[in-house]
Chain A
Amino acid sequence: MSGKTIIEKILSAHSGEDAWAGDRVWAELDLAVVRDFGGPNVVLEYEKQLDDKPVWDPQKIAMTFDYQAPAKVVQVANNQRICREFAEKHGIPHVFDVNAGIGQHVLLEHGMVLPGSVIIGTDSHMNLLGAVGSFSTGMGTTDVAAGWATGRLWFRVPETIKVTFKGEYRYPASAKDLTLFLLSRVDMTKTIYKSLEFYGQPIDSLTPAGRLTLASMVTEMEGKIGFIIPDKALLAWIGQRAGRTVEAVVPDRDASYWAEWEYDLSGLEPLIACPDRPDNVKPVREVVGTHVDEVFIGSCTNGRLEDLRVAAEVLERMGGKIAPHVRLVVTPATTEVAMEALGAGLYETFVRAGAMVTNQGCSLCTIGHHGVLAEGDVLVSTGNRNFRGKLGKGSAAYLASPAVAAATAVKGEIALPE
């Protein structure tokens, strides 16, 4: 008998069953989250199905408003109100309103995400929390409404692919380039619904922000979740936030993997995902000089302090001013990141350079706010999706690291950092 992978361990622990890949289990939820998109739909579905019935556990429900923060159209304002009123009525204390920032990051900072937990939410990038070893996954309205009612949901236990990296890379290559490299290499007919486990020296060396970057784009790889086992420093950080000791879930040594893939990152260079697919990845040098109208630095993939810091450093080093025709939008992920960036003087660098620094949230990435594109516009974004017309009908988007995005803003065309 072989041992269990991380996902098999987590779903066994949460279902009380001996869960193996391919099994269907009903698992207990640790947290069920809605945003201001999806959230009102969940509330309406819940009330349609269950009327006034109390929710399963108000402490284990959270609301995070990051889609359009603050609301710019009445419909969204109404939606946010629907959520707030439901929270009030059901005594749900964890409402992170429009001033809080991107949901998953906010929950993480508030110690509500523990390694080994099972979390669902109305955001397809919930699984970025795999960066701290949590099984978090995006779900639709019906799932979350059922989760609020019962505290449990069905899962098909995913098979696991063990992904091991080796080799060393240096700046300007970054965690985003590692992520885009993997996106360009994986066969997505094989990664659909799989759990990925990431190993190797390059993973051990990743900062927490870099881990979030990689885990967030497992969605674009069609994976269910990507786990990085938290190291001691990260466990201590989570434990301090959560006010308790936390442990990592590790796979059994004889765990059985569906596949084991190895990648060598030696000589990794800055990469860029070209329109209209996140896996349409090329070396930046092959598209250098492409005209750009707008640059976005932020998102759940690259909106942490270190992302903003790298971007600010590149701006300074390359003369401190963006090209006159370029619009640069910078969005910190959360209030905490915004405060840190303020303290570090990054806002001054950005504003002096000609950037618009927005309040924390999803900003441009959800087309909720800030800098929607014109027809024919070209965007370079540090986000995670560049589907056709996602950020404005008739526009095109490239995805790259904060360093490449900042260099591009300075040059007004796709550029490598100097």
Chain B
Amino acid sequence: MSEKFVFTGHAWVVGDDIDTDMIYHGSYLPLTDPQEMAKHALEYVPGMEDFTEKVQPGDILVAGKNFGCGSSREHAVITLQYNGVGAVLAESFSRIFYRNAVNLGFPILEVPEITQAVETGDRLEVDANTGRIRNLTKGSELQGHPLSGLEKEIMTAGGLFGYLKQELEAKE
């Protein structure tokens, strides 16, 4: 598995039920350019109004339960990806966000009770292979549920099209 599945970054912590309109509002759905989409990340999450100004490449978004509920919009994943967010660690994910992230090769990890153990600004080291997370600021460790099976294969291939191309090449 590639290097990019082990990484460190600073945490941004948000709460439960962060829906897709908060991550990427419906009024921006007409946008098709990922760089433009990136300007509106988390705009409707209370307290995160300055996120796109302050986020650093590799930062890690930490969320509570049911992250990404609502719409099928892939924009919600793309807007985080194009802000350089390294991964989303959440207590649970909504199904469509989870699937879109896998298909785009964007690292996500389910980590029980992570919002109790991490504060905004903490430095985290994430191993998406094993699911182990070290909070370097607090000196604590957490265990998440890493992807497995087909989802892991798709993620490792860099997303669904990467996977389909690999499959095609294997046949030829």
Interface flag for A105 (CB, 8 Å) = no
Jot down 7 A-B pairs with beta carbons below 8 A, ordered by A.
Answer: A68-B30, A122-B72, A124-B96, A126-B72, A143-B99, A387-B70, A390-B26
Considering the chains assembled together, what is the distance between the CA atoms of A376 and B124 in angstroms?
Answer: 39
Residues of B contacting A385 in the complex (Cβ-Cβ under 8 angstroms): 21, 70
Q: What 6 A-B pairs come out closest when comparing CB atoms?
A: A140-B74, A138-B72, A140-B100, A142-B103, A124-B72, A75-B30
Residues of B contacting A68 in the complex (Cβ-Cβ under 8 angstroms): 30
Interface flag for A317 (CB, 8 Å) = no
Interface flag for A350 (CB, 8 Å) = no
Instruction: Mark contacts of B135-168 with chain A using CB atoms, 8 A cut-off: 1 yes-contact digit, 0 otherwise.
Output: 0000000000000011100100001110010000
Known: A124-B72, A189-B65, A366-B26. 8 other contacts (CB 8 A): A37-B29, A38-B29, A67-B29, A139-B72, A150-B164, A387-B21, A388-B44, A393-B44
Residues of B contacting A73 in the complex (Cβ-Cβ under 8 angstroms): 30
Interface flag for B104 (CB, 8 Å) = yes
Considering the chains assembled together, what is the distance between the CA atoms of A67 and B31 in angstroms?
Answer: 13
- Enumerate chain A interface residues (CB-CB to B < 8 A): 24, 37-38, 40-41, 44, 49, 67-68, 73, 75-76, 79, 122-124, 126, 138-143, 145-146, 149-150, 154, 156, 188-189, 192-193, 222, 224, 277, 366-368, 385, 387-390, 393
Q: Check B74 against A76 for contact (C-beta < 8 Å).
A: no
Considering the chains assembled together, what is the distance between the CA atoms of A405 and B136 in angstroms?
Answer: 53
Of chain A, the residue at the smallest CB distance from B168 is: A150
CB distance from B63 to the nearest CB of A (A): 15
Considering the chains assembled together, what is the distance between the CA atoms of A76 and B75 in angstroms?
Answer: 15
Instruction: Mark contacts of B78-94 with chain A using CB atoms, 8 A cut-off: 1 yes-contact digit, 0 otherwise.
Output: 00000000000000101
Residues of A contacting B127 in the complex (Cβ-Cβ under 8 angstroms): none
- Partner among B32, B74, B77, B160 whose Cβ is within 8 Å of the Cβ of A40: B32
Q: Check A388 against B31 for contact (C-beta < 8 Å).
A: no
Considering the chains assembled together, what is the distance between the CA atoms of A77 and B72 in angstroms?
Answer: 21
CB distance from B117 to the nearest CB of A (A): 19
- Enumerate chain B interface residues (CB-CB to A < 8 A): 17, 19, 21-22, 25-27, 29-32, 44, 65-66, 69-75, 77, 92, 94-96, 99-100, 103-104, 149-151, 154, 159-161, 164
Q: Check B150 against A154 for contact (C-beta < 8 Å).
A: yes
Of chain A, the residue at the smallest CB distance from B91 is: A189
Considering the chains assembled together, what is the distance between the CA atoms of A158 and B11 in angstroms?
Answer: 32
- Partner among B65, B72, B150, B164 whose Cβ is within 8 Å of the Cβ of A140: B72
Q: Check A141 against B74 for contact (C-beta < 8 Å).
A: yes
- Partner among A44, A139, A146, A150 whose Cβ is within 8 Å of the Cβ of B32: A44
CB distance from A75 to the nearest CB of B (A): 4
Of chain B, the residue at the smallest CB distance from A150 is: B164
Q: Check B161 against A24 for contact (C-beta < 8 Å).
A: no
Q: Check A41 against B74 for contact (C-beta < 8 Å).
A: yes
Of chain B, the residue at the smallest CB distance from A277 is: B17
Q: Check B104 against A142 for contact (C-beta < 8 Å).
A: yes
Considering the chains assembled together, what is the distance between the CA atoms of A192 and B99 in angstroms?
Answer: 13
Q: A76-B30, A123-B72, A366-B26 are in contact. Are A390 and B160 (CB under 8 A)?
A: no
Of chain B, the residue at the smallest CB distance from A152 is: B164
Q: Check A192 against B94 for contact (C-beta < 8 Å).
A: yes
Residues of A contacting B44 in the complex (Cβ-Cβ under 8 angstroms): 388-389, 393
Most-contacted residue by chain A among B71, B72, B150 (CB, 10 A):
B72
CB distance from B40 to the nearest CB of A (A): 12
Q: Check A138 against B22 for contact (C-beta < 8 Å).
A: no
CB distance from B77 to the nearest CB of A (A): 7
CB distance from B26 to the nearest CB of A (A): 5
Q: Check B32 against A79 for contact (C-beta < 8 Å).
A: yes
- Partner among A49, A124, A222 whose Cβ is within 8 Å of the Cβ of B161: A49
CB distance from A245 to the nearest CB of B (A): 32
Of chain B, the residue at the smallest CB distance from A80 is: B30
Residues of A contacting B159 in the complex (Cβ-Cβ under 8 angstroms): 142
Residues of A contacting B26 in the complex (Cβ-Cβ under 8 angstroms): 366-368, 390
Q: Check B66 against A188 for contact (C-beta < 8 Å).
A: yes
Q: Check A146 against B65 for contact (C-beta < 8 Å).
A: no
- Partner among B22, B69, B72, B94 whose Cβ is within 8 Å of the Cβ of A38: B72
Residues of A contacting B27 in the complex (Cβ-Cβ under 8 angstroms): 367
Of chain B, the residue at the smallest CB distance from A146 is: B160
Residues of A contacting B72 in the complex (Cβ-Cβ under 8 angstroms): 38, 122-124, 126, 138-140
Residues of B contacting A366 in the complex (Cβ-Cβ under 8 angstroms): 26, 29
